[in-house]
Structure 1
Amino acid sequence: MQRLAVMQTNLIRAALLTATALTVLTGCGQDKPVAAPVTTPAAEAPTRAQELPAPAGVAVSPGGVTTAVDVPSGATESEFGQACHAAKLWMDAQHADPVTLVEPYLHLMQQPQTRDPGNFNMPWAELTAAQQAGVIMAATSASKGECG
């Protein structure tokens, strides 16, 4: 029972952090730029992520990785626990500061061929926005050592 309360507290914290990050990233208004434009050298072809603007409520890194989805997580407690554990195992195997590994991990989870407990064993494109938010929340929690 106590573990459930801790997990719920961690989910609430992660949701608040995600909301705060989205607020900062969007600058609290439509008229404020989110980031400097990405310039691509002429010899380098743009990736599909660079060609298409991110949908409203979605934060995409300059590397094309979705780092936030502005919806509540749709992961069940079991899915979240499995995704968080999978992210922690991957981060531990990298032997680096876990906080720096969130985006690389999310990049891996967003690859079309990746079916892993970290993305609920479904390709990223087939996840709902709420499930994508759950994957991001689990990765962020893993980076902070908050997996149960």
Structure 2
Amino acid sequence: MGLSGVIACAHGAHSGTASSSSAGLSTIARVPSSAPPGAIGLSPTGVTTRVDVPAESTEEQYYQACHAAKVWMDAQPKTGQSLLEPYLAMVQASPAGTAGSWNARWAELTLARQAAVITAARAAANDECE
């Protein structure tokens, strides 16, 4: 169910403006634009846990991000606590990017790509990657 939403957003993301891209991969290198007020959700520790824009990724990219998140989460000690925020903190702090962010630094991802990473990480946390 979440997968179809990500795919639909990836194919419907073109608006014809100068900031849109004809190829999803070329958006990775763009710096995120400003978000509308309240569109970015931060945890008390400062981790971005929500980006309220349509997620932008292909089906393959979504699976890659979800799988990378799941592998990381499975390798962590089981505490009964959600691993979503710790995973997102790790991705956002990575100086070189991670497989879960398509090897791009968090700050280099557009808001739509950040939303896609968060969507995939939520699916991984809920064991819904497949």
TM-score by length of 2: 0.70
Query: Highest CA radius of gyration, 1 or 2?
Result: 1
RMSD between aligned residues: 2.2
Matched residue SS, 2:117: helix
- Give the letter for the 1:76 counterpart: T
Match of 2:61 in 1: 79
5+ long unaligned stretches in structure 1: 1-8, 15-53
Match of 1:142 in 2: 124
Match of 1:120 in 2: 102
Which contiguous aligned blocks of 4+ residues in structure 1 show a shift greater than 4 angstroms?
none
Matched residue SS, 1:108: helix
| Residue 11 of structure 1 pairs with residue 33 of structure 2 | no
Whole-Å separation in 1 of the counterparts to 2:41 and 2:94: 19
Identity of aligned residues (%): 49
Whole-Å separation in 2 of the counterparts to 1:98 and 1:113: 28
Match of 1:105 in 2: 87
TM-score by length of 1: 0.62
Structure ranking higher in helix proportion: 1
Q: Deviations over 1:44-76 (max 9, x none)?
A: xxxxxxxxxx95300000100000000111011
Q: Deviations over 1:94-123 (max 9, x none)?
A: 032676100000000101504111011100
8 Å CA contact retained: 2:3, 2:59: no
Cα gap change, 1:104 to 1:55, in 2 (>3 Å) = farther
Match of 1:66 in 2: 48
Whole-Å separation in 2 of the counterparts to 1:101 and 1:114: 21
Whole-Å separation in 2 of the counterparts to 1:125 and 1:86: 19
Whole-Å separation in 2 of the counterparts to 1:147 and 1:103: 17
